[in-house]
Chains A and B, each alone.
Chain A
């Protein structure tokens, strides 16, 4: 099968490309960033998915499946670039796919779109709407893109759509939302709160996305790995030192420019949990994670340079 990975230069996406190649797919990558590794066996197109150049890539490569990973998903207030990438980009990619006979689009979203809130259920199900946007607008454009992709399930019936809401991933690449938060030796958190964090090893996350390409099951799925652990334990097991500070002090220090890894916007993601139920995805694809959370965190710890 011919698979085009949009946003394929990212660390997680590169692992997806690897898994797809190993699964004997013909893989092409389109990204506005250059391809960082040697491009053996990969057709690489440097193009912005919002532009007509991307339509040309789809026309020329003629993929059966498009994996859409060209999103901005850091926890920060939406800006012009993230809004354009997430919204205009997703819309353009769907449009080009529908016009050029693509059969299946896999949109890789994040579990953070459910929103962190005090009255969240223990585990979110796929049918729940996002919450907490009134308090914390971070991720609003990713959330909108996720819902846009979801409605394609009925709007474009010829095109199969799979939306994957993947939990925080972590691994040797040391990239991603959680890795950014854990980038320093001392990791601040909010005193009196210790939410459950759901983390999956990046190799497992990439395997899940590749599996979704093969299974071609349309629908919206949460992708979860091991059972969640409290944030304090995640910090400790990744070899960092947790520092619990009152929310006001944390706000003050961020304004002064300390703790660059802190998410922008509210501290809701440090106070309240977002955990998802991944059973529907397991039932649809037979996915099983390979690495325990301890294993995943210790690999991340080993891969980190010695921190001062």
Chain B
């Protein structure tokens, strides 16, 4: 198996003399980050990924999918899948929540690994540079799903659709299953979270949100292309959003089917 460093060399990134790309992504940090993620992807969550042929090998794209509970294990595994299983590998830029850049350490690691704050300006800049973004239209409300809500979808924001229309970016929907089984949340401690500067702390039956080695599955669907300018009425945009949401709902069912078939 090819090692992390040589796959990083094959990413479509140019590192300067000090090992940083123009956005501040660091080769050294990427190697540690993606190396650790690979272990989780392959050995801990043993992620089964289907539909990779739907992810473009180059050019701008938006991966849009569901949060499955606990915290963003789903996001980390999508980044891993695109790094480990695509040929050539691609670096996915997740649009991270703002609190991550306010916290010490996480502020450094998110910036060095290309996981930038989810601002519209950042998204447009990266897409125009033909990068691939990862977007969860459910936002924090999606991550904080409790165990029994793990395969449901909450309200989708519209921002991602306007962004896709404006920048003419194809949307690749995906469904993720297993995150809620790894971190079965029974209660979101918001007050406790505030102490640590995070929106909430998910509590599990064993207290701390340490993940179980639950098997996860990830299914990418066919790319959806929408035509427009991004300045349409809300009604028109929400019809498009509903189409994406419908596709993701089906892909979550597919992902759960992949999980149960591998459990047998």
Using CB atoms and an 8 Å cutoff, list the residues of chain A in contact with chain B: 118-123, 125, 190-194, 196, 227-230, 233, 237, 271-273, 292, 294
B107 within 8 A of A: yes
B117 within 8 A of A: yes
Segment at the interface with A among B20-28, B140-148, B222-230: B20-28
CB pair A230 B24 closer than 8 Å: yes
B101 within 8 A of A: yes
Segment at the interface with A among B38-46, B62-70, B119-127, B168-176: B119-127
Among A119, A123, A196, A273, the residue within 8 A (CB) of B98 is A119
B1 within 8 A of A: no
CB pair B104 A196 closer than 8 Å: no
Query: A273–B117 Cα gap in the complex (Å)?
Result: 12
Known: A192-B107, A196-B111, A272-B101. A121 touches B18 (CB 8 A): no
B263 within 8 A of A: no
Question: Chain A's nearest CB lies how many Å from the CB of B109?
Answer: 10
Most chain B CB within a 10 A radius of its CB, from A118, A120, A294: A118
Question: Chain A's nearest CB lies how many Å from the CB of B212?
Answer: 29
Question: Chain B's nearest CB lies how many Å from the CB of A229?
Answer: 6
CB pair A196 B24 closer than 8 Å: yes
Question: Chain A's nearest CB lies how many Å from the CB of B27?
Answer: 13
Question: Chain A's nearest CB lies how many Å from the CB of B128?
Answer: 12
CB pair B108 A193 closer than 8 Å: yes
New A-B contacts (15) at CB < 8 Å, excluding given A121-B121, A271-B107: A118-B98, A118-B101, A118-B102, A121-B117, A121-B119, A122-B122, A191-B104, A192-B108, A194-B107, A196-B111, A227-B22, A229-B24, A230-B24, A230-B26, A294-B17
Known: A196-B24, A230-B24, A294-B18. A122 touches B121 (CB 8 A): yes
Taking CB atoms, residues of chain B closer than 8 Å to A230 are 20, 24, 26, 112
CB pair B18 A229 closer than 8 Å: yes
Using CB atoms and an 8 Å cutoff, list the residues of chain B in contact with chain A: 16-18, 20, 22-24, 26, 98, 101-105, 107-108, 111-112, 116-117, 119, 121-122, 125
Main secondary structure of the interface of A (DSSP, over half): loop
What are 28 inter-chain pairs, A to B, with CB distance below 8 A?
Answer: A118-B101, A118-B107, A119-B98, A119-B101, A119-B119, A120-B117, A121-B122, A121-B125, A122-B116, A122-B122, A190-B104, A191-B104, A192-B103, A192-B104, A193-B104, A193-B107, A194-B108, A196-B24, A196-B111, A227-B20, A227-B22, A228-B24, A229-B20, A230-B20, A230-B24, A237-B18, A271-B107, A292-B17
Among B16, B102, B103, B112, the residue within 8 A (CB) of A227 is B16
Query: A259–B185 Cα gap in the complex (Å)?
Result: 46
Among A125, A191, A233, the residue within 8 A (CB) of B121 is A125
Taking CB atoms, residues of chain B closer than 8 Å to A227 are 16, 20, 22
Taking CB atoms, residues of chain B closer than 8 Å to A292 are 17
Question: Chain A's nearest CB lies how many Å from the CB of B210?
Answer: 22
Query: A120–B121 Cα gap in the complex (Å)?
Result: 10
Query: A163–B186 Cα gap in the complex (Å)?
Result: 55
Taking CB atoms, residues of chain B closer than 8 Å to A273 are 24, 111
